[in-house]
Structure 1
Amino acid sequence: MEEARALLKEGVLAHLSALETESVRLVELQREAWRQQATREELCATVERLRAQRDQLRAKVLSATQVMTEVDQENEEKRSEEEKSAGDSQLHMSLLTARLSHVKNLLRAHHLIGGYDITETRRGKGVCFSIATAFEDRTLETYNVEMDLARTMRICRHNIPPFIPLERLAQENFQSDIMAFLDSLSMHLNAYVGRRQQVRLIQELFHGSVKVLESNALCSILVLRCRQVGEKKAAALCTLEYGDPTRCLPTRVTIDSEEKTLTDSPQWNEIQALFLETPAHQALLAIRREERIA
């Protein structure tokens, strides 16, 4: 009888110890979730603040552009009478120089909060806009668009990747709102390099446990094979589709596996949601910390 009581006591103590360990783990997970939420809110506030600053400078640039457009129209009306005069030619060049200087000063200020740098080319007959790209606070490639200002403003040279819809973006905003054109182009470029950087980080961080099976030049589709943790160690196939070319997060996530009990479980539904809200390499790191993949 005493031996039975001792065994029962040991069993109860072991069970209580297991409950205590599980409770500590759950508390740590909850604290981590709170920390991530606080970080996310802080980043969102920073983004909103920078957007407000950008909008203020964009309004100044638009106002200056409108004034310069009015000056150009006035000069156009007088051009037929003034073309014969060399002095009037010098006046036109002075106005053009002043125009470039004013826009350059405004855009350099805009560059300080994540805008674009601008340099004069071909002795004042053109300007070159530099669009820097970044992902997770790391500066990546810089792309350039050179514009001809001699007569009608047009793009004369650039190093934009061919799969970025430069011509369509130019048709939409180029002549009427140059800042809207640059902002739209910047969104496409930053989203592209962000998606491409995620592929590189997956290949560097997981060393074969997660394999990139497919990815196109625009990185608008990404197929990953992940080794699941479990007795059968089945492989999961994750397909990430990026339907919005201006974002580096997928719009659709599909997960398939030979082990249907895993992919149909609530945990894998949570994983799908995680991929939709988090860059792919960060989502995979979180899944590996929970020991759902190798």
Structure 2
Amino acid sequence: MEVSSTKGVLSHLSLLEVQARSRKTRPQQSSRIKELKAKVEALRIQRDQLRAEIETHKNLQKLRASMDKQCANGEEEEPEEEEEKMDADSENSQLLRLMARHTQLKDLLHAHHIIGGYNVTKTTHGRGVCVSLATAYEGVYLETYNVELNVKPRMRITRHNVPPFIPLNSLAEQSDMQTDITSFLDSLSRHLNGFAGRKQQLKLVKELHKSVEVMESNVLCSILVMLLTVPRKKTHVLCTLEYTDHTRCLPTRVHCECEVDKELPDSPEWKNNCSLLMETPVHTALTTMRNMDIIV
């Protein structure tokens, strides 16, 4: 009887132990199931988003193809036929058109960057291109120059409005235009911007400094001779600026002379003035000198 009683107690204890374990595992299983369900729901949402993106991409591709075709044909109308095919009553159609236009402009900007930032148009003959080179100084756009290039059978310049004192042919030979057109355009652009900047400085000198007399300058603006009035000495200083580097707007040499006071140009003050003229645009340097009461 004792043996039977003992077995009964052990069986009951085993049953209680099994029940206790099952109670511990049920919350864990329930938590795991909730976690899996949440993951499944997140994957479904991600799937739906990807499907929507794919559909949007397809519609954008259709619109881009239509817009590119119209640009190639020189048309300006909206791609109405493609919009009708794509569901013209959709609230997203306007947004899709804007997105398509945005991608088109990004591609154009990328192409513009690849060719060095120059505006290029195809010529009427279809065998060449016309490159526009804009010049600017201190944030102000100045003249724009055009160079028409024939690309077949060899790259060559056919027409241009570049000033004759710019060594166009020499620049083409030095940069090997046949293999590196960007290098040629960059070199030409530096020369044109250097000339435009020097020319603009000369204009500003005449406009802002009426007391400064421009004695000499040339068409390339590579030399500038000015007569400056020194108020304290009651004399004049002849100042010559030479621009031997035609791609720059700052002079490479500044020379001053005074007939009345031969030692004046060699004084520390005028040596500083010469340094200022070499390191600062001439109209700005003259303003500084006038504010310091060095010139009138």
Category of TM-score, reference length = shorter chain:
0.5 to 0.7
1:216 and 2:218 matched: yes
> Which of 179, 182, 185 is the equivalent residue of 1:179?
182
1:126-176 CA distance string (max 9 Å, x none): 100000000111100000000112311111000000000000011122112
**CA displacement at 1:115 relative to structure 2:** 2.6
Match of 2:237 in 1: 236
**Cα distance, 1:284–1:110 mapped onto 2, change above 3 Å:** farther
For the pair 1:250 / 2:246, whether they are aligned, the reply is no
Deviations 1:240-287 (A, max 9, x none): 000111111100000111223432221110001011111111110110
Alpha-carbon separation, structure 2, partners of 1:224 and 1:246: 22
Q: Which moved more, 1:264-273 or 1:180-189?
A: 264-273
Partner residue of 1:128 out of 130, 133, 153: 130
**Would you say the 8 A contact 1:224–1:238 is kept in 2?**
yes
Q: Distance in 1 between matches of 2:285 and 2:183?
A: 33
Tell me, in whole angstroms, the C-alpha distance in 1 between the residues paired with 2:256 and 2:187.
Answer: 32
Aligned to 2:9: none
Structure (1 or 2) with the greater helix fraction? 1
Structure 2 match to 1:271: 273
Local SS of the residue matching 1:225: strand
> How far apart are residue 178 of structure 1 and its match?
0.3
3-state DSSP of counterpart to 1:245: coil
Taking structure 2 as the reference length, what is the TM-score of the superposition? 0.61
Q: Which runs of 5+ in 2 are unaligned?
A: 1-106
Equivalent pairs, count: 188
Q: Distance in 2 between matches of 1:123 and 1:106?
A: 26
Quote the residue 2:206 is aligned against.
203
One-letter amino acid of the structure 1 residue matched with residue 270 of structure 2: W
Unaligned runs of 5+ in 1: 1-102
Aligned to 1:24: none
Contact 1:107–1:117 at 8 Å: present in 2 too?
no
Question: What letter corresponds to residue 182 of structure 2 in structure 1?
Answer: M
For 1:104 and 1:178, the matched residues in 2 are separated by 19
Deviation string 1:205-259 (CA, Å, 9 cap, x unpaired) is 011x1011000111111000011111x4101110000011111110000011122
Aligned to 2:229: 227
Which position in structure 2 is the counterpart of 1:292?
294
Query: Which structure has the bigger radius of gyration?
Result: 2
Kept in 2: contact 1:110–1:116 (CA 8 A): no
Structure 1 stretches of at least 4 aligned residues deviating more than 3 Å after TM superposition: 103-107
State the 1:187 CA deviation: 0.3
Q: Percent identity?
A: 52
Q: CA deviation at 1:110?
A: 5.5
TM-score, normalization by structure 1: 0.61
Aligned CA distance change for structure 1 residues 110 and 138 (closer, same or farther; 3 Å) = farther
Q: CA deviation at 1:188?
A: 0.3
